[in-house]
Structure 1
Amino acid sequence: MVTDTIADYLTRVRNASRAGHRVVEIPASNVKKEITKILFDQGYILSYKFEDNTVQGTIKIALKYNKLTKEPVIRKLQRISKPGLRKYVNSQELPRVLNGLGVAIVSTSHGVMTGKQAKEENVGGEVLCYVY
């Protein structure tokens, strides 16, 4: 039984990209769907599809690789806020990942969004993960 579903999501994507898989299938939840949409909007994955063929549903993610070197576009997925130690920040303390080259994914009262969007909307929240 998995207690931290977001860490499981990140681990599945990380392992599939390192193994060179084209597609990874993950059990769905609303937070995972929002994280997937952010990864697609930021250009870290090729495409995604939500399937409701089971009770919970699944997310199919097509991973993105560099055409020349065949290396995965996602260099690092790092879980920040964990079940044992939650990490909350206000709008002034939102982190910059790799001096703006990476993305911080934040769960706010306005929904799941990137750190830049949260700063623009002047809302803080729980820092879920860093992606770069």
Structure 2
Amino acid sequence: MNDLIADMLTRIQNAIMRKKETVDVLNTKINNEILKVLKNEKMIEDYSENGRYIEVKPLYDNNEPVITHLERVSKPGQRIYVSKKEIKPIMNGRGISIISTSNGLFSGAMAKSKDLGGELICKVW
């Protein structure tokens, strides 16, 4: 498995489609950072480290998932970079983008407010 981020996004997407209460993803530094952004943006309920895995609790509103789609943008074979001017709202502000900057991982709105660009990791809505 080469792309651990895509694996995590796929596992979360599959768990949401099956309306699972929790899903286990591999415990890596980048996965932890992405989950921290998702929790801060209220896209997931919570996550906790459990040894080699991270247990993620997807957020549901009236038994409907808050996240309907997770999309990997920048891939190991094709990196996608955006400047602060190129950061756009996702789904008219209903979604978020996650950007890896020189100061760490941020949501698109947060990176834009800090005047930072970087690698566009994924889009979530």
1:123 to 116, 120, 123: 116
- For 1:41-52, list aligned pairs within 5 A: 41-51=40-50
Q: What is the deviation of 1:50? A: 1.4
1:25 alignment partner in structure 2:
24
RMSD: 1.0
Aligned residues: 125
1:62 alignment partner in structure 2:
57
The structure where strand makes up a greater share of residues is 2
Q: What is the deviation of 1:95? A: 2.4
Letter in 2 for 1:65: Y
Tell me whether 95-104 or 105-114 shows the greater mean CA deviation: 95-104
Q: What is the deviation of 1:66? A: 2.2
**TM-score, length basis structure 2:** 0.95
1:83 alignment partner in structure 2:
76
Q: 1:18 and 1:35 mapped to 2: Cα distance?
A: 20
**TM-score, length basis structure 1:** 0.90
Q: 2:93 and 2:60 mapped to 1: Cα distance?
A: 21
Q: 2:42 and 2:115 mapped to 1: Cα distance?
A: 24
1:109 alignment partner in structure 2:
102
Q: 2:69 and 2:106 mapped to 1: Cα distance?
A: 18
The DSSP-based 3-state class of the residue aligned with 1:123 is coil
Identical columns (%): 38
| Gapped regions of structure 2 (runs ≥ 5) | none
| Gapped regions of structure 1 (runs ≥ 5) | none
CA deviation profile, 1:34-78 (whole Å, cap 9, x unmatched): 111111111111111112x3xxx32111111122xx221111101
Q: 1:63 and 1:118 mapped to 2: Cα distance?
A: 24
2:91 alignment partner in structure 1:
98
CA deviation profile, 1:70-101 (whole Å, cap 9, x unmatched): 22111110111111211101111112211222
The DSSP-based 3-state class of the residue aligned with 1:75 is coil
Segments of 4+ moved more than 3 angstroms: none
